[in-house]
Structure 1
Amino acid sequence: MYHNPSSLEQDLWNNWINDKNSKNANELIHHYEYLVHFHVERMCIHLPKSINKEDIKSLGFIGLYDALKKFEPNRDLKFDTYASIRIRGSIIDGLRKEDWLPRSLRDKVKKVDQATQSLEQKYQRSPNPEEIAKYSGLTVEEVENTIKDSLFSNILSIEEKSKTDYVQETGIGYSIADDSSQSPESKILQKELEKELKEGIKELNEKEQLVISLFYFDELSLTEIGQVLELTTSRISQIHKKAIVKLRKTLNKLKYLSHVNGQ
């Protein structure tokens, strides 16, 4: 692994690598559960009080277990950093799927958003809580609490949009058609192209392979990859773009196949 683990930690990992049973998994989960508690406490600061912290912890442990299953000790990564990203991602995904904003809060968020947009157009600046309260018919306290409680919802939207935008901007996003909708010939061709893509990835240097793997297969953002590899986001972006130049020909073939199958 990327750092020098303690003898206990190394023993736990050796046990898991040699036998991926539930006992060895639980021992590692217990060893790293402090990461779940840390991120739950940090993230709950931004959540409405109506959200059950134990539910958030459950999402965090799902992320930790997912990290354990997917982590490859021979890769040049720190597990605690990788796991932290997985834990946080699992919590965010869970909150997004559960649609956790209460209806009453959702209505207030809508009022505050509408008031903010109207006042920004009127004054050509960001309105203060008092102005928003007067316009929306809410109290100043309600406006401030609504802004605070909806903050995490905005973060979820921003994080989801930022990655989608990046993939679209670089022109490298692609999807492979569902197997159930493909002809036998298309399936054979797809397998051949997937094999070609894997061979193309092997031609990349170690750092490029790692960035491509973390971005497309582990689905980390460039910022998260930077945290894992201890490099700046701009440096990760450079590595990523250089790798894509090498892979573009193969990726375009896959994109074309997806387009043909989707017709």
Structure 2
Amino acid sequence: MDLAQQREANFGKDNHLLRNQIISEYLPYVKRIVNRIAVHLPATIEVDDLINVGVIGLIQAIERYDPSRDNKFITYAVFRIKGAVLSELRSRDFLGRTTRRKIRDLEKAYLKLEQKLGRDVTDEEVAEEMDMDLEQFYKVKRMSSISFVSFEEVGYTSHSEGTSVSGSLAGGDTSDALSLTTMKEIKSTIAKNIDLLPEKEKLVISLYYSDELTMKEIGQVLNITESRVSQIHAQAIIRLRSKLRRDGLLEE
């Protein structure tokens, strides 16, 4: 009998019923987390499958939550749910190595040109740097925007807890996470890089990740189309990923 089974046996029938009640109560959180991640994924990814994985993460949170620690259950549950979903997506590697390499090259090209020119660069300039025509460039850029490894990878959400740097979010116990001090340093680095974004990109990032508005809602706030919001978001993610990779917060 493993540890989880021992806990289940010790809890008894009443606690089993309580667990089911908790799962039912927090299922909307699972669906919301999955749907926000799924926005950036290809249509071939089944959302229902990810919701099932998220429920497993919720069950893990129920079994492993320690009320003596200084965090709320919802905070820990979101951490576990998101970790389970991202771990599942990483295991599928739906983008493939070749596409991931192109995305990394795109990010590095942006960073190189911005450092060289000391200003924001255009798509045309980056395409030329990568020796691509614009059609090829925009294809890679679209793939970059649907990559699930965005701020979820480094835990930039209003409910994030613990650390999730390049894999630790994927399911390890919180006792294995980086120290609170280190996490604060990581969030500080992210915040500094966000401040360096053009104003509209910075606003979209804030509205999407901190205020948790949808792309459609952000479009209504900014009086632009949902498609344009998506483009601005993708551009911001590319810039930030390149900077976070430079700072060692993302794996090469």
TM score, norm. by length of structure 2: 0.48
**Larger helix proportion of the pair:** 1
TM score, norm. by length of structure 1: 0.47
